[in-house]
């Protein structure tokens, strides 16, 4: 996707609108709510698919980043860089959160505990240990993909600064 200056923005992108009018239509607080909600939903989706398949799928990183970015784009109508940064942060939360949820579920299954029982005994030390034990270098790549996708799809339009 190319970055365009205000003067070169095609009229199809901004039918009868100036860049200032487009910026006035941005809603960052709503974008935050949508991004966090999508990150939580994405983490649950990631964990569900991974636990069901018992396999880490890179496709889930694409899906989480896309869902987060689209939620921010639709809710926030943003063109400023902060929308991309929000998308990247929420993409990170969704992918990393999904990985952590998987670790908790697999631990619960190994110990024959329910998810609720596992949450009751979960301490920061245990959570840190679970993440360390289950860490795979591919996790970095998957989270990075989610961050990139979250950033890329968070903009309604891309403008030059």
Give the burial string for 88-116 (b: 16+ CB within 10 Å, else e). Answer: bbbbbbbbbbbbbbbbbbbbbeeeeeeee
Q: Tokens 């991309």 — which residue?
A: 84
What pLDDT, in 10s, does the model give residues 80-128?
Answer: 999 999 999 999 999 999 999 999 999 999 999 999 999 999 999 999 9
> What pTM was estimated for this model as a whole?
0.84
Q: What is the pLDDT of residue 15?
A: 62
Cβ–Cβ under 8 Å, residues 25 and 73? no
């Amino acid at each position: 996707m190319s970055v365009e200056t205000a003067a070169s923005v095609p009229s199809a992108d901004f039918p009868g609108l100036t860049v200032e009018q487009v910026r006035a239509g941005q809603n960052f607080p709503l974008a935050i709510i949508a991004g966090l909600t999508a990150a939580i939903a994405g983490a649950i989706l990631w964990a569900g698919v991974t636990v069901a398949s018992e396999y880490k799928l890179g496709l889930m990183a694409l899906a989480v980043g896309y869902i987060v970015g689209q939620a921010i784009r639709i809710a926030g109508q943003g063109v400023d860089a902060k929308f991309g940064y929000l998308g990247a942060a929420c993409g990170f939360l969704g992918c990393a959160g999904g990985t952590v949820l998987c670790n908790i579920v697999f631990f619960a299954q190994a110990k024959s505990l329910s998810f609720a029982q596992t949450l009751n005994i979960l301490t920061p030390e245990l959570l840190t240990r679970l993440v360390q034990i289950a860490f795979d270098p591919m996790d970095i790549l998957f989270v990075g993909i989610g961050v990139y996708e979250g950033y890329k799809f968070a903009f309604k339009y891309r403008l030059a600064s």
